[in-house]
Structure 1
């Protein structure tokens, strides 16, 4: 009976850990606006992100210059945009733009949609950067107070203002509750087991299973993310791909820590079991 209780507690602990790890990552890097902005700011150091953003800004600058009646040289505008995305100012402003996008998805306070219902983001803070001002003035361009760029080719029911509002409300509670419950059931597993060493090793196996399953799940889930990104195109698609890659890399770090903790617990559990066995034999 004690073995059955221990096994049941171990299974519950494993399931809770499988919820707690991705929930903790999501809360820190997606749900929390500061964490998401941090993730975006770190991603801004990636040349793939910089190049995609520079290409999108160049397209917008060419349109602005054409509307102003000037004969533009695309290569000059491209050089200005590339110089900006390579500058120290870009990561912080890229994070600011992503804060706006985050509020659009997690609240319904900021309405960032065009007349067609497409998700748009305002890039005007980037055009206000000093590295652009001289170039814009040379072409007689006045930086607009708002420059909304659609992130999707068409309106999508899955991308609406406040679509993730409930996630933002309950995400922190789920993350904290899952973490606390994982710890509680891990302690209960240790308390119910006849051999603390074996129970500790079993908990280590749980962490190894969760880490390995997480890696496998990400590989499978990435296909679905790619399908979802098919609603975007061009430079926005390149930018989204790069950001998703950084998000996956961040989650990989959490899974690697889980695997490392699992390996450590298995080693400690085996050591504790061996020492316990030797102690019993010596008595």
Structure 2
């Protein structure tokens, strides 16, 4: 009976841990606006993202110039945009622009407002100042860039609003459940060393399941990215890559912790055996 209870508690711990890791990661890096902005700021260091963003900004700048009847060498505008995305101001402003995109889907937006980002603050950066002075132009109050070609019917403003309310509770609840299950397993098990090793195995299984889950999710991620186009698609791919790398780091830490627990559990079990033998 005790063995059966230990096995059931171990299974509960394993499942709870496998669920807790992605939930806690998503709450910290996706649902939470500050966490998402921090991840976007980190992604802004990606050369591919900087290149795509420079291309998008140069396109918008060219539109502003040509709409006033001027002509300009596109390579000049591209060079200015590239200098901006290489500047230390870019990651901060890119993160702020992503806050707007985050708010649209998590907090909602006025009826009829599309999913867009406003790049006007970027175009008003001092890096572009000389360019605007040459053509006696001022950047409009807003310069919006649509994030999708066609908005999926299932995706609408405020679609994920419930997660902002329930996400923290789910994350904390899953973490507490995992901890309680692990402690109960230790309490019920006959051998503390073996129980510790089993928790290590749980972490190894949870980490491996997470890696497999990311591979399975790739197809759905690619389907979602198909709604973006051009430079926005490249930017979204870079953001997705940063998110995947972040989750991979969490899973790698889980695997490492699992390996340590297995070794430590074996060591504790050996000490217990020596104590009983003595």
| TM-score in terms of structure 1 length | 0.95
Matched residues, number: 278
CA distance in 2, matches of 1:66, 1:35: 38
Q: Deviation per CA, 1:217-263, whole angstroms, max 9, x where unpaired?
A: 11221221011100111000000000000000000111011111111
Name the structure 2 match of 1:57.
57
Write out the 4+ residue segments of structure 1 that deviate beyond 3 Å after TM superposition. 110-114
Q: Does 1:128 align with 2:124?
A: yes
Name the structure 2 match of 1:44.
44
Correspondent of 1:243 among 225, 235, 239: 239
Q: Deviation per CA, 1:186-213, whole angstroms, max 9, x where unpaired?
A: 0000001111111110110000000011
Q: CA deviation at 1:111?
A: 3.9
Q: Does 1:86 align with 2:86?
A: yes
Q: CA deviation at 1:73?
A: 1.2
Name the structure 2 match of 1:267.
263
Matches within 5 A, 1:1-283: 1-108=1-108, 110-111=109-110, 114=113, 118-282=114-278
Q: What SS does structure 2 have at the residue aligned with 1:154?
A: coil
Q: CA deviation at 1:139?
A: 2.4
When the two chains are superposed, the root-mean-square deviation of aligned CA atoms in Å is 1.2
Q: What SS does structure 1 have at the residue aligned with 2:145?
A: strand
Q: CA deviation at 1:159?
A: 2.7
CA distance in 1, matches of 2:99, 2:264: 43
Whether the 8 Å contact between 1:72 and 1:139 is mirrored in structure 2 is: no
Q: What SS does structure 1 have at the residue aligned with 2:117?
A: strand
Change (3 A) 1:44 1:156: same
| TM-score in terms of structure 2 length | 0.97
CA distance in 1, matches of 2:48, 2:112: 26
Q: What SS does structure 2 have at the residue aligned with 1:62?
A: helix
Q: Deviation per CA, 1:133-153, whole angstroms, max 9, x where unpaired?
A: 220221233201001111100
Whether the 8 Å contact between 1:104 and 1:112 is mirrored in structure 2 is: no
Whether the 8 Å contact between 1:204 and 1:265 is mirrored in structure 2 is: yes
CA distance in 2, matches of 1:245, 1:263: 27
Q: What SS does structure 1 have at the residue aligned with 2:208?
A: helix
Q: What SS does structure 2 have at the residue aligned with 1:231?
A: coil
Change (3 A) 1:176 1:240: same
Structure 1 portions without partners, runs of 5+: none
Whether the 8 Å contact between 1:93 and 1:125 is mirrored in structure 2 is: yes
Q: CA deviation at 1:277?
A: 1.2
